[in-house]
Amino acid sequence: MIDTERLEHKLDDFDPGRRREALDALWRNVESGRETVPEPGGEVNLHAHTFFSYNAYGYSPSGFAWLARKGGLAAAGIVDFDVLDAVEEFLEAGRLIGLRTCASLESRVFVPEFSRFVINSPGEPGVAYHMGVGFPRALSHPFLTEMRSAAEKRTRDMMSRVNVYLDPVALDFNRDVAPLTPRGNATERHLCAAYERKAEEVLPDPARRAAFWRERLGDAPATSTELQGLIRSKTMKKGGVGYVAPDSGSFPEMAKMNRFVIEAGAIPTVAWLDGSSDGERRMEEFVDVAMASGAAALNVIPDRNYGPKLGADKVKALYDVVALAERRGFPVIAGTEMNSPGQKFVDTFDADELKPLAPIFLRGAFIVYAHTALQRECGLGYLSPWAEKSFSSLDAKNRFFEAAGRALRPDAENKLSGVDAGVSPARLLERLQ
Confidence of residue 2 (pLDDT cuts 50, 70, 90): low
CATH number of domain containing 74: 3.20.20.140
Judge if 211 and 345 occupy the same domain.
no
Q: Are 206 and 214 in contact (CB under 8 A)?
A: no
- SS3 state of residue 298: strand
Residue 374: CB partners within 8 Å, gap ≥ 6?
A: 380, 381, 384, 401, 404, 416
Task: Quick: pLDDT tens for 250-263.
Answer: 899 999 999 999 99
- Residue 364 counted as domain residue: yes
Confidence of residue 19 (pLDDT cuts 50, 70, 90): very high
Residue 368: CB partners within 8 Å, gap ≥ 6?
A: 46, 75, 77, 102, 133, 134, 267, 297, 331, 333, 382, 405
- Residue 243 counted as domain residue: no
Q: Are 294 and 261 in contact (CB under 8 A)?
A: yes
195 pLDDT exceeds 90?
yes
Average pLDDT, the chain: 94
80-89, 291-300, 341-350, 398-407: the lowest-pLDDT one: 341-350
Judge if 292 and 358 occupy the same domain.
yes
- Give the domain extent around 216: 146-235
Judge if 307 and 360 occupy the same domain.
yes
- Residue 172 counted as domain residue: yes
- Residue 348 counted as domain residue: yes
Judge if 226 and 308 occupy the same domain.
no
Q: Report which of residues 410 and 172 the model is more confident about.
A: 172
| pLDDT > 70 in the chain, percent | 98
Judge if 278 and 390 occupy the same domain.
yes
> Which residues lie across from 48 on neighbouring strands?
78
- Residue 256 counted as domain residue: no
Number of domains in the chain: 3
The predicted pLDDT at position 414 comes to 73
Which of 335, 362, 363, 368 has the alpha carbon at shortest distance from 266?
Answer: 368
Going by DSSP bridges, is the β-strand pair 332-334/297-300 parallel, antiparallel, or unpaired? parallel
Judge if 218 and 94 occupy the same domain.
no
The predicted pLDDT at position 308 comes to 61
1 pLDDT exceeds 50?
no
Judge if 200 and 319 occupy the same domain.
no
User: What average pLDDT does the segment 217-235 reach?
Assistant: 93
Last residue of a domain, one of 186, 215, 235: 235
What count of Cα atoms within 13 Å lies in the side-chain half-sphere of residue 228? 19
The predicted pLDDT at position 417 comes to 82
Judge if 150 and 212 occupy the same domain.
yes
Task: Quick: pLDDT tens for 364-383.
Answer: 999 999 999 999 999 999 99
Q: pTM of the full predicted structure?
A: 0.95
- Residue 327 counted as domain residue: yes
- Residue 208 counted as domain residue: yes
What count of Cα atoms within 13 Å lies in the side-chain half-sphere of residue 332? 23
Judge if 416 and 298 occupy the same domain.
yes
Judge if 63 and 194 occupy the same domain.
no
Task: Quick: pLDDT tens for 308-324.
Answer: 666 788 889 999 999 99
Judge if 416 and 279 occupy the same domain.
yes
125 pLDDT exceeds 80?
yes
Q: Concatenated DSSP letters for 57-83?
A: T---HHHHHHHHHHTT-SEEEEEEES-
Residue 232: CB partners within 8 Å, gap ≥ 6?
A: 188, 189, 191, 192
- Residue 93 counted as domain residue: yes
Q: Are 337 and 79 in contact (CB under 8 A)?
A: yes
The predicted pLDDT at position 232 comes to 95
Judge if 186 and 228 occupy the same domain.
yes
User: What average pLDDT does the segment 164-182 reach?
Assistant: 97
Confidence of residue 412 (pLDDT cuts 50, 70, 90): low
